[in-house]
Chains A and B, each alone.
Chain A
């Protein structure tokens, strides 16, 4: 080992470029500067997972006022999240509850009246309450804001341990005439009875 080390050092002395590189590296260790970025959430993947969840929820939910056959199953997105493209891509050519899927972006806060699912993203707390209240009374309201269940949301996405999980408000579901299957409740991170 020592022989190798000696040979490397002798070699280095004859290879000034390599020697410079190592010297510069060592010098750099002694200088200061800016901080490194911390662990980041892959927001594209997060959005894709949420889109798939939204598309899959209806399998586990019964609406009290199912729309007539042939009318579209409307998923309405509210807010500035760009989840619509993903949703359209998954739903393309598929049906939900036997109806063709339509994805619509809400404009100027005006709700789409026949939406079965309303997904609200990025709402500030005051605005969130208003947006939830604006949603059609029998629609499944899904949000992604901490504390949104208290504002009347039925399913709220939360990031927990770097995973996309969701919590459920049974009271809100009941108010909206939705019955949720036990399989959905099993997967939920938390199920609250109130408010």
Chain B
């Protein structure tokens, strides 16, 4: 799996608390190299990266992937209802946010319907997550398409790191869950794990106490097989899931899917390496009152890294994906995709060189060509400079061109499905384009203190817009600028403090010469400021006390008031096998909304969740 994180940082996954629960046999089987060389070449990382570690996830008490993403200070996460979220970096946030590349173990999980993520079906066993890399700003040339505003890369642990039995049950006033995983060995050097998980979420409530009919029931199971190691090995993994979500009218939304991934890595003695990955992904979405969709995707990806000359690390690759999107318009009076079904073929090629100009100065130049069925070839060049002026201080700058290619919603949606239209497709909609300038600094001046700060400037062009009654056009433009900063301070061996700070300013307007009644159709709704604070304290006797607070500024349209929320978690390692935790969310706040228009939106009340986790 691609990784932007490098040697400069401690192994992000296996913290002391994780290790302390392992058997001697398991301890002797942990590979202690840093992420592989191939991945390290990305490590000088002239980019704004935050890594959510397994330990962070555990201590947050998160039980779903979107909740775990709240840990990344460079993301804005707004919960829209019991099941849906709006998640984005660098602005343009919406439940239909469409500028993030989201991957789970190399599998792209955003939907070609709208280039956004249906978060309610992206789940996994959070205990098996090794780390989540969150990159804000355009992904380097190495990433798959759509990394305009950022990349969320979820990486699960190898099967040899998840051996033995784990059973988890949790119950609270808003949800309950049960999960189990077993890992073992097979053959000479093979490891496997299998897991199953089920979760129930109670229905939500509006501010006046009116219940919203959106309770849901999720089940998911899967497996992972690993042979060899991360550098020279083979991985086969897959998942199956269903999620049934109540709807106020028309019957429940039935979502289901499955995937199968095969990946092979090879590293040669001369430092050259390659990775071949292929996956098949199936998604079923039966949404009464809107659409019925069956989506099948086959993806093939190859990357080859080599060091042809001493100071250069070159990477090239190619990828191809074929999707068959079979869709039925269930409510043409509301909305219709025309044509209803279609095939989509995409391929991309990439070339990148990381050039060590001086021992402490590296320049990365990359270019990627992305080809899509709608606009043909799009070129995405990037130049990144990283200067380690001391071993513990890194100054970096990046200049990139980012492109959001049209998705089905941009080209083929008619509202309603028959004339007269409010929105008449978008047959001439072109890619949205941004020139992105980033400048950042990060440092670890002492082993106890680390921090990062960066500023960015997006010059956006050809943004989605619309003259009411007409099709989507590219007649908006403007700039988005912002600041992202975070730090971590290990005050004592038993007490860590984290803080994050985001500032965002958007200035979008009609392009010169556009029709006078043009409206934006970007749907961005972002806070100007977000501040997060976390305290993680170990108390003697195996107790952990964690407090997380966040302030999220007002959202303009639809207006959502600014809010602050404080969550607290008490964990107790009762024995080497048993861990108990109690999570209290929204401690000082009876309820608050995070997304949506007043009158219809949900509010999230104070909640309590008790969890027991047993490991063999």
Contacts and interface: CB of A to CB of B under 8 A. Distances in A.
Interface of A: 4, 7-8, 11-12, 15, 17-18, 21-22, 24-25, 28-29, 31-42, 44-46, 48-49, 51-53, 55-56, 60, 85-86, 88-90, 92-94, 159, 162-166, 183-184, 187, 189
Interface of B: 7, 10-11, 14-16, 19-20, 22, 24-25, 27-34, 36-37, 40-41, 229, 231, 271, 307-314, 351-353, 355-357, 359, 365-367, 369, 371, 376-377, 379, 381, 383, 401, 493-494, 538-543
Contact of A89 (B16, B32, B383): B16
Given A39-B33, A44-B10, A187-B28, A29 B379 contact: no
Given A25-B351, A164-B32, A17 B381 contact: yes
Contacts of B357: 33
B362 to A, nearest CB: 10
Residue of A32, A38, A42, A60 with most partner-chain B CB within 10 A? A42
Contact of A29 (B36, B231, B309, B543): B309
A46 B34 CA distance: 10
Nearest to A12: B379
A163 B308 contact: no
Contact of B27 (A37, A42, A164): A164
Residue of B32, B36, B40, B542 with most partner-chain A CB within 10 A? B32
The secondary structure that dominates the B interface is mixed
Contacts of A37: 7, 40
Contacts of B381: 17-18, 21-22
Nearest to B43: A37
A163 B377 CA distance: 46
Contacts of A21: 365, 367, 381, 383
Nearest to A22: B367
11 contacts: A4-B371, A29-B312, A29-B314, A33-B310, A35-B311, A39-B37, A53-B27, A89-B494, A164-B30, A166-B28, A187-B25
Given A37-B7, A162-B33, A163-B29, A49 B19 contact: yes
A52 B22 contact: yes
Given A4-B371, A51-B16, A89-B16, A28 B312 contact: yes
B265 to A, nearest CB: 13
Going nearest first, the 5 A-B pairs with the smallest beta carbon separation are: A33-B311, A93-B540, A45-B11, A44-B10, A21-B381
A91 to B, nearest CB: 10
A45 B33 CA distance: 9
Nearest to B7: A40
Contacts of A162: 31-33, 229
A62 B570 CA distance: 35
Contacts of A44: 10-11
A35 B33 CA distance: 19
Contacts of A184: 24
Given A8-B377, A22-B367, A33-B309, 20 more contacts: A4-B377, A12-B379, A21-B365, A25-B351, A28-B355, A29-B308, A31-B309, A33-B310, A35-B311, A41-B32, A48-B14, A48-B15, A49-B27, A49-B30, A49-B32, A52-B27, A90-B16, A93-B541, A93-B542, A162-B31
A56 B24 contact: yes
Given A36-B310, A162-B229, A45 B30 contact: yes
Contacts of B308: 29
Contacts of B356: 33-34, 36
Contact of A45 (B14, B312, B355): B14
A163 B31 contact: yes
A34 B14 CA distance: 33
A52 B30 CA distance: 12
A40 to B, nearest CB: 6
A163 B28 contact: yes
Residue of A32, A35, A52, A187 with most partner-chain B CB within 10 A? A52
Contacts of A42: 10-11, 32-34
Contacts of B493: 85, 88-89, 92
B16 A86 contact: yes
Nearest to B37: A39
B353 A163 contact: no
Contacts of B310: 32-36
B491 to A, nearest CB: 13
A28 B353 contact: yes
A31 B7 CA distance: 25
Contacts of B14: 45, 48-49
Given A52-B27, A163-B30, A164-B28, A94 B10 contact: no
A48 B16 contact: yes
Contacts of A7: 376-377
Contacts of A17: 381, 401
A8 B377 CA distance: 7
A54 to B, nearest CB: 11
Nearest to A189: B28
A93 B36 CA distance: 36
Contact of B538 (A36, A56, A89): A89
A95 to B, nearest CB: 10
A44 to B, nearest CB: 4
Contacts of B24: 53, 56, 60, 183-184, 187
A60 B231 CA distance: 34
Given A42-B10, A93-B542, A159 B16 contact: no
A48 B357 CA distance: 35
A73 to B, nearest CB: 15
B7 A92 contact: no
